[in-house]
Structure 1
Amino acid sequence: MASIFKPSRVISVAILLAAAGWIASGVFSPANEDVAHGGDTVAADGTQVASLDGETPVAGEAAVAEAEVFVQRVSVRSATPEPHQRQIVLSCTTEADNASVAVARGAGVIVELNVERGSKVRADEIVAKLSDEGRVAAVKQAEALLLQRQAEYDANKSLIDKGNAPKNQLPALEAAVASAEATLATANALADRSIVRSPVGGVVDSVPVQVGQAVEAGSLIAEIIDPDPMLAVGAVSERERGYLDLGQSATMRFIDGKTVDGEISYVGLSADKATRTYPVEARMANPGALIPDGVTCEMVVTTEPVIATSIPRSALVFSDDGLLGVRLADENDRVQFKQISIVDDGRDSVWVAGIDEPTRIIIVGQDFVKDGDLVEPVSEVAKVEPPA
């Protein structure tokens, strides 16, 4: 009969007994006896950390709590309110303040053309002449008729004064003379229509006709532009219209870098229904005609100074209530939200109202903190990590 005490079985039983003894040694260790008796828990460095009965605070509890407080590091920039003049910039085109066209007032053939493009003319100067088309003959006929009626009147008036003719003929004689005078005036007016005159003084910009061309009444003979003064015509938004007034100074900037000073001469009262903008005009002197009609420019209007603060655009945040503002670091390094309103908008910074005294604006890390948080402000832009 084989023995039951095989070596493999003996080794297995020994390992099992050793494992059971090792587990049992932990249950009955002195440390667990202290726990079972309500003793204090001791940290690895020997510091008393907690009491299991929950009644007596331990010395290490405050240290542990303090170690768990996270202080967010933020970047701040000093901001000081100061007077600021807002600049309103409008896109404009130049337009002559006084431009007109010379047109034919009657039908005829152009027999004389006294101007060409670029010619300078004075107001009421003769631009062209048309064929008279019988107008001169009509004048001569009217003049002869008037002489006849005047002679008849004089002869009959003498007879009436001597009593040789009835007085009731006098009104008819006077009416005949007046009719002849009216006929002559009409003939002269018709004859004058063969003369085309410049309505304004300025520079001839276009002449779409030539000598020998037949024209009708109302045909364009020449376009004349008076370059002095010149207008800058643009449009202003509803938000900015209230900052503009008649007579307010304005500066026009042109694409070649030249600037010309002027003043606002017109601000519209009715908005464009499509764009909701109001027309604006500024008048500027142009004695040498150096500013042409129809070029692009910018109208810059500087408003009265207001107290505002310049801050980076990236510093703007919204509160939980949807209010626009910035977050500040106060003298105790606590975060505060400050509501602001935008006064002027720039490329990288904005001017805002609502900050009444010098302060520190959080410019990096403002999205990681909230009101009342303790922060570590740094004056230079540094890498700011979100809280863990």
Structure 2
Amino acid sequence: MASGVQIDVGGVAIGGGAPVVVQSMTLTKTHDVEATTAQIAALASAGCEVVRCAVPKIEDAEALKRIVRLSPLPVIADIHFNASLALKAIEAGVAAVRINPGNIGGPDKVKLVVDAAKKAGIAMRIGANSGSLPAHLQELARRDQAEALVAAALEEVELLEKLDYRDFKISVKATHVPTMIRAYRMLAAKVPYPLHLGVTEAGTPFAGAIKSAVGIGSLLADGIGDTFRVSLTADPVREVEVAWEILKSLGLRERGPVMIACPSCGRDNVGVENLAVVVEERLKAYPQAFEVAVMGCAVNGPGEAGDADFGIAGGRDVGFLYAHGRVLKKVSSDILIDELFHEIDRWIEAGMPRPKRLRMAKPAALAMAEASLIPLD
């Protein structure tokens, strides 16, 4: 169930039917303005839409004014334990602050931060994390951690609503994927506010990407979640790359090409893995949204390539180039990839016209056999 409330974070709409927003977090020391702004620029280039910066010390808060001025992205200040740092961050002009009302110093301190956020007209992120639940919910957490996460978040929501402040989003992140999924589903049924999704401390790029895709993807497929961060033990640019692949795989957002590639198997005549790696690397240069299929044999090649804007199906000496569901040409294998990108470039220059697709009536193997009769270019 989608959130009914929409908030604004530095001009980026979150919730209330807005597109799902990709976030990440800088790894630099925030007081190192040059390093931090360089990392923000790299994140922006990768497709990050909102960035969070850790503010553990006074020098970090003091650096935010310059960072906000130089950043191409809305900056969220990540604050824990110290309300005065949150106040300094708001004064510096950040687009939002992330606080945990349970560890910021009590209701009076929360009120100070909320009053400052109201005055500045900025949003907040609140919520619970499986690693830092309040002491009074520890017993509940031992019985049901998802329920404890939701209980903690609802306590924070109640506090902010009593302060007549509703410009916030909520997270209930956990390292255990089933717990994370269940907590967000429970919370989505109870509140109208935007939800920030994440599998916290997901891990290294391989395992962390899988956990995040399963957890975040499951919720997004159900219509739950308005923004998210893929938390990886890696360069944050990797987080953004994985985030966009999740959105693209679900058909929720478009950014650059999507590549379809068949798995390696005993029918592979051309080394499809090598073909796919080269094609994928060259596709990174294209900002346009389109699909390319890379196939290694006659079984699935025509059918899969027919669903994509362009496709190649390899053979021992020759390959086949498809465009919009039809065989375009047969070419020598050594120039197959170059011919693919030549046709893609021509199509983009022509305005990316997509002809009406015809359902392929012939079996894939028969279509490939007929294609093999096409003279070699």
With CA pairs under 8 Å and 6+ residues apart, which has the higher RCO, 1 or 2?
Answer: 1
The normalised TM-score by structure 2 is 0.18
Larger Rg: 1
The normalised TM-score by structure 1 is 0.18
Which structure's residues are more often strand, by fraction? Answer: 1
Which structure's residues are more often helix, by fraction? Answer: 2
